[in-house]
Amino acid sequence: MYQTTIKKSVQLVGIGLHKGSPVKLILEPLSTNSGIVFYRSDVAVSIPLIPENVVDTKMATVIGKDGHVISTIEHMLSAVYAYGIDNLRVIVDADEVPVMDGSSASFCMLLDEAGLLEQDAPKKIMRIKKEIEVREGDKYVKLSPSPDLQYDFTIKFPHPVIQKQEYVLKFTKESYKKEISRARTFGFLHEVQYLRSKGLALGGSLENAIVLDDKKILNPEGLRFENEFVRHKILDAIGDMSLIGMNFLGNYEALAGSHDLNHKLTLELLKDKDNYEVVELVGEKNKELEKAYA
């Protein structure tokens, strides 16, 4: 298997979740072994996608460098990671990635438009060798060795519409597009009101999030999936795990996981090289991986 980038540059314009202003997003091909690199065109700052550049995880995954940040990167990265893309330049002209409809479906469509290009360097895969867990109270996120990739997520909310939900994704690119990519982010009305009082979530609306009051969903169209909430948590987790810098083989499991716990999990994984091995697929075929990212 070989590394991949996109065949051509593509772009879209959408609203930023927090500022509520239009943001232009451009995706460009990059050469082999470049990884994913973000670029703020308005301030001419490049920010490589590495765990050390994560500066905030409270409401979203935020990366930064030299005092400049890019927020809400996880939905777009979720699509990039699901497509198995190794090298990519992500250009934005503001401090956040556009939220689109609150899912990753628009980014999947953009990547389909760009097409994938196989490059002339072997693909690098991380195999999880040991169980790694980060726990805070009853909440935890965990990685364990496995010959394939699976996401197992459980959420519990004291809300009549959500309550307890669990979903297991046996990952392939197609299962991601069908089962995960359309799941939207969600929030509670009292949280939205609080955030707006702080000058945040100004771009949030029923067009780009599921919003709930104390008893019901406010979106007139309802849910896309009965368990859309936990599916979106898997979407987020896939995006957050892209910070390790390559696709991996292993099982991801979470109970009430978050951006913060996911970030701590990537740091815990990478701090000890005995936790994993990086395999270059030099001239060899890996049927399971080729099937997953076909």
pLDDT one-digit tens code per residue, 152-208:
999 999 999 999 999 999 999 999 999 999 999 998 988 877 777 877 677 888 999
Closest CA relative to residue 130, chosen from 277, 280, 288:
277
Residue 198: the pLDDT is 74
Closest CA relative to residue 231, chosen from 125, 128, 155, 139:
155
Look up residue 114 and give its amino acid.
A
Closest CA relative to residue 258, chosen from 51, 59, 52:
59
DSSP 164-211: EEEEEEE--HHHHHHHTTTPPPEEEHHHHHHHHHTT--TT--TTSSEE
The residue with tokens 């765990």 is 51
Strand order from edge to edge, sheet including 68-70: 54-56, 62-65, 68-70
Q: CB count, 10 Å around CB of 196?
A: 14
The residue with tokens 């406010």 is 218
CB 207 within 8 A of CB 101: yes
Distance CA 128, CA 162 (A): 32
User: What residues form DSSP beta bridges with 89?
Assistant: 28, 37
Residue 203: the pLDDT is 84
Residue 221: the pLDDT is 95
The two structure tokens encoding residue 293: 């990212």
User: What residues form DSSP beta bridges with 276?
Assistant: 128
Residue 217: the pLDDT is 96
Residue 259 sits at φ, ψ, to 5 deg, of -60, -40
Closest CA relative to residue 213, chosen from 228, 193, 230, 198:
193
Distance CA 9, CA 132 (A): 37
Q: Among positive and negative, which fits the CA dihedral 122, 263, 143, 268?
A: positive
| Residue 259 appears among annotated catalytic residues | yes
Question: pTM of the predicted model, to two decimals?
Answer: 0.94
CB 88 within 8 A of CB 37: yes
Closest CA relative to residue 125, chosen from 81, 89, 169:
81
Question: Which residue in 18, 75, 232, 259 is the catalytic one?
Answer: 259
Domains and CATH numbers, the chain: 2-292 (3.30.1700.10)
Question: Which stretches in the chain have pLDDT values below 70?
Answer: 200, 283-288, 291, 294
